[in-house]
Structure 1
Amino acid sequence: MKDSPDIAEQLRLLRENYAQQLPAKLAQMEDAFRQCDNMVELPNLRHLAHSLAGSGATFGYPALSVAARQLETLVDSALCDGRPLTPKESDTAARLIKTLGREAHNPIVPAPAPALPASNLPETERKLIYLVEDDASLATDLMLQLGHFGYIVKSFETPKQLLETPVDPTLAAVLMDIVFPQGDLAGPEAIIQLAVAKQLRTPVIFFSSRNDLTARLAAARAGGAAYLVKPVDVGELISRLDSLVTDLPPEPYRVLIVDDNSPLASHNAVTLQSVGISTDIVTDPMTILAHLDDFKPDLVLMDMYMPGCTGAELAAVIRQLENYVLVPIVYLSTETDTDRRLIAMQLGADDFLTKPITPEHLISAVSTRLRRYRVLRSHIEQDSLTGLLNHAATKDRLTTETARAARQQGVFCLAVLDLDHFKNVNDTYGHLIGDSVLKNLAELLKRRLRRTDIVGRIGGEEFVVILPDTDAKQAIQLLNELREAFSLVRQRASRDLTFTTTFSCGIAEYQLGANANDTHLLADQALYQAKQAGRNRVILANSDERKGDGSGAFHAL
């Protein structure tokens, strides 16, 4: 498959296409002007002028934008008075249209494309860990524990072995003990040697049975990113590793561009894509509801004037939708009238950007609002203990995924997980240890699932996993792998006491015609069956249960 053209090439092609389409657009405008005595045609003339005013400068025709904006203002004045153009206004409009025709043949030479920041992060996470530990049993245990969370560990018995081994370019982090037979601070000293030789550019986590200031200072002077005291709490270690070595960028921002001017919408989309922002384009505002459900934007970038409805009217409709009450709506328009802007803002928008707009300004303005929205959304949607989605947010995601699967006749699976005998954990070891178990399960789910999968904690010890584009067979295999991995994770109750625990799981595969509650009910029933059958197992609900046959039939695996 051929690589997609780079950003500069895409923008060049868009400029060429715009230039090729200009004669037809001007012909449409001249035709509308000839019929402007007909009040039905006058709005069309205004719309055509509005389109050129907003797009001309973007594609290298700044003078064309100015003339089109003057024509738009002139026609808009007549429409606001509910009358046709006066003879004087018609003369002015005719001159402006001639100016448009002249300027269409005089594009400016585009300046070199600005160096837009782009993400060069790899598409997969670095998972290779170097472990330097002379206690063979501890090293083996840590390798197994880290393996349950998806890390690959290469072990060294001495710092000297590490120094003599070429550093793997995929290395994510080094776990280094402090004390070795070669010296009480041999670990930090080896890391300093690697750093001086510029052979190590990855974070180092030191761990040791020592908890004194001398050891901690040595680790800090060696550039240690963290210091853990033995016995190592695997949950804390995984949390530190995840924060240090995850190279995957955050979920890309999503911007829905609503503009009937297709070339301009495409240009803005390419500009935002150049910095890793995902975009979807709506050129027919009457189709926006389907785009909202499928794309789930973090921001809506919308023109003010479009056929069928105005941007302000569309913003009011978006604000009627519960899931989009807080999503930023930003107008990108040639509108400069302050009163109209204020009225439009009152109907639900957050800000105005003025056409034409430079790529740098568009990226900066949109990125700022996206970051604020993501922070706000995270506070609202996250479970405070585990960092997963909370109950309400999980419910919303299930409803959205159900609607998407229904429209696309797709498939997904819903898994409901519940920790086994969790009350005994709290009663035996205390609620703080219980919270640690919950966080460890959350970390395992986050590390072992795809970024497209949706994970939430819906209450107590119960979790939900939504697996888009996944059938029952795939879901069963995945959840059994997760169940087995979690059952091997040692939970630490105290310095000298560890224990293991398990979870049970019920899975339901979405069937066309079912709603979100149907699927959730089936998964809950399957979870109940898993508990009744002895716990620590995954059970798939029989889809016939939806039909209400009362048989209680489930597939246990």
Structure 2
Amino acid sequence: MATEALLYKNRALLLTQSFFIKDNKAELLLHAHKYDFDIAFFSEVSAFAQAVEASGDNNLFVIDLDALHNMQADMQSSRKTLLLSELLARLPGGHSYVYLQSARQGGRFLLQQRLVDSDCLAYAEKPIANDVLVDKLFNLFVQKKRGDVVRLMFLGDATHVDEAALQEQRVELIRYDDVNTLHLRVKELQPDMVMIGEAEYERTEAIVRVLKKNIEADPVREIMMLQRRIDVDLTRNALASGFDGIIPLISRELLTAQLVNRANKIRVSKDLIGKDRATGLLNKVGLQKKTQELICNAGREGRPLALGVVDIDKFKTINDTWGHYFGDIVIKRLSLTLSSHVGEHDLLSRFGGEEFVVVFWDCSLEEGARKLDAMRQAFGAIPFEVTPGTVRHFSFSGGVAAYPEYKTGNELFLRADAMLYEAKQAGRNQIRIAPAR
């Protein structure tokens, strides 16, 4: 379809042998598109290098080392094998590369050392199934993104960390000094990491158990102790009480670096757990957590929220008529349309199948309905080429409910979903709003 190339925000550039492209191209593309990225195939180093130079930030650069055996070193040489050193010399600097290699190549440690010292983002051993390769590449796309802000709550002397360096890496430092009310503050702010000084732990040894036994505790959250002195018994007791890690205080710089590394791992884990792989939007798990946080913030600040639920009209007919692959394309186009209409503090989720949820921050019921209707009109204007020369337009229906009329995320969703059902029953392609109680 003519608009397909516009669907994918990310792209992988793949330098590989021609037979690999011939045998795997269609299946690789099918898997990649489901993960919301495209693949461009290259069999010549020069064309690949030019494409790398012209690429933006949303790209991965993948090199199949077996391709070296099918490439001439230069125009004047009859030698078919390009040496690794020649390939590395011709790759544009300032970029990181993913290398695919055979088991024989993977067994050579000096080769691995050469690769990781040469702008290597990652390497993988073949044979590797197409769906597995695509899944691994998706994970790398996630890791390349800066992602959400990670919150670090620090109980104790926070002067041991470089707050400016943390902020630069999108880590927010929250200082706190009362061990007896820490569990309440953690419940309210839902930090991703909690750092507790050894003195505070020794005063209240039950603090970690109190934090972890809460049924609403985030399983991704890391609780760490900052240890200023070497004490084996203290370390053993702290680990037994539930700490995820003990970080010795060696220097301010090293402590900050360790916290940044842990924040990056948490960020990736949160993306993989809380994001829908096909669209990159929040999934049901991610939405529920974020909505709870947004409602807490709205309550503290006295702001309204509007939650909308939308569902593509007659989506089963779309799948049955033009296939599930085309249905996936429709879902992606809707996700991009909705994304372009949400603000920085709004939430957007692919809740499941063809159903999406949007939460508008500081937004009344009526304004939320207007925003959702603007999304409906924008999606309805998109031409889909279902077959060569044949264009169709599709629609969605939606329902809206508002906070504080409905107090919890579950109440908001159920009421908005009921309004969605009314919109469907009334003829589809419209928005219905929840009446006042």
**What band does the TM-score fall into relative to the shorter chain?**
0.5 to 0.7
Distance verdict in 2 for CA 1:513–1:285, change over 3 Å: farther
Calculate the aligned-residue CA RMSD, in Å: 3.7
Q: Residue type of the partner of 2:375?
A: L
Shift of 1:407: 4.5
Query: Partner residue of 1:534?
Result: 427
The 2-side partners of 1:507 and 1:375 are apart by 32
2:331 to 438, 442, 450: 438
2:154 to 242, 257, 278: 257
Query: Partner residue of 1:330?
Result: 224
Q: Residue type of the partner of 1:370?
A: A
Counting aligned pairs with the same residue, the percent is 27
Distance verdict in 2 for CA 1:269–1:533, change over 3 Å: same
Q: Residue type of the partner of 1:472?
A: L
Larger radius of gyration: 1
Secondary structure class of the residue paired with 1:458: strand
Task: Give matches, 1:93-132, under 5 Å.
Answer: none
Query: Partner residue of 2:182?
Result: 288
> Which one has the bigger strand percentage?
2
Shift of 1:414: 1.0
Q: In structure 1, list runs of 5 or more residues that go unmatched.
A: 1-140, 152-204, 227-242, 545-557
Q: Residue type of the partner of 2:237?
A: I
Query: Partner residue of 1:298?
Result: 192
Deviations 1:25-84 (A, max 9, x none): xxxxxxxxxxxxxxxxxxxxxxxxxxxxxxxxxxxxxxxxxxxxxxxxxxxxxxxxxxxx
Secondary structure class of the residue paired with 2:198: coil
Distance verdict in 2 for CA 1:496–1:517, change over 3 Å: same
Q: Tell me, yes or no, if the aligned pair for 1:505 and 1:539 is still in contact at 8 Å.
A: yes
Q: Tell me, yes or no, if the aligned pair for 1:508 and 1:543 is still in contact at 8 Å.
A: no
Q: Residue type of the partner of 2:381?
A: L
Distance verdict in 2 for CA 1:343–1:446, change over 3 Å: farther
Q: Residue type of the partner of 1:532?
A: Q
Shift of 1:494: 4.2
Deviations 1:525-550 (A, max 9, x none): 21112222222222221131xxxxxx
1:373 to 232, 250, 266: 266
TM normalised by structure 2 equals 0.63
Distance verdict in 2 for CA 1:335–1:424, change over 3 Å: same
Secondary structure class of the residue paired with 1:384: coil
Q: Tell me, yes or no, if the aligned pair for 2:400 and 2:419 is still in contact at 8 Å.
A: yes
Shift of 1:485: 1.3
Distance verdict in 2 for CA 1:340–1:254, change over 3 Å: same
Q: Tell me, yes or no, if the aligned pair for 1:258 and 1:300 is still in contact at 8 Å.
A: yes
Q: State yes or no: 1:508 paired with 2:401.
A: yes
Distance verdict in 2 for CA 1:308–1:341, change over 3 Å: closer
Deviations 1:388-436 (A, max 9, x none): 2222332233333334434444321111111111111011101111111
Distance verdict in 2 for CA 1:477–1:294, change over 3 Å: farther
Query: Partner residue of 2:366?
Result: 473
Q: In structure 2, list runs of 5 or more residues that go unmatched.
A: 10-37, 57-139
Distance verdict in 2 for CA 1:500–1:219, change over 3 Å: farther
Distance verdict in 2 for CA 1:517–1:252, change over 3 Å: closer
Q: Residue type of the partner of 1:338?
A: V
The 1-side partners of 2:346 and 2:266 are apart by 21
Specify which structure has the bigger relative contact order, considering alpha-carbon pairs within 8 angstroms and separated by 6 or more residues.
2
The 2-side partners of 1:292 and 1:212 are apart by 50
The 1-side partners of 2:318 and 2:347 are apart by 27
Query: Partner residue of 1:59?
Result: none
Query: Partner residue of 2:347?
Result: 454
The 1-side partners of 2:232 and 2:365 are apart by 56
Secondary structure class of the residue paired with 2:327: helix
Task: Give matches, 1:375-394, under 5 Å.
Answer: 375-394=268-287
Distance verdict in 2 for CA 1:277–1:213, change over 3 Å: closer
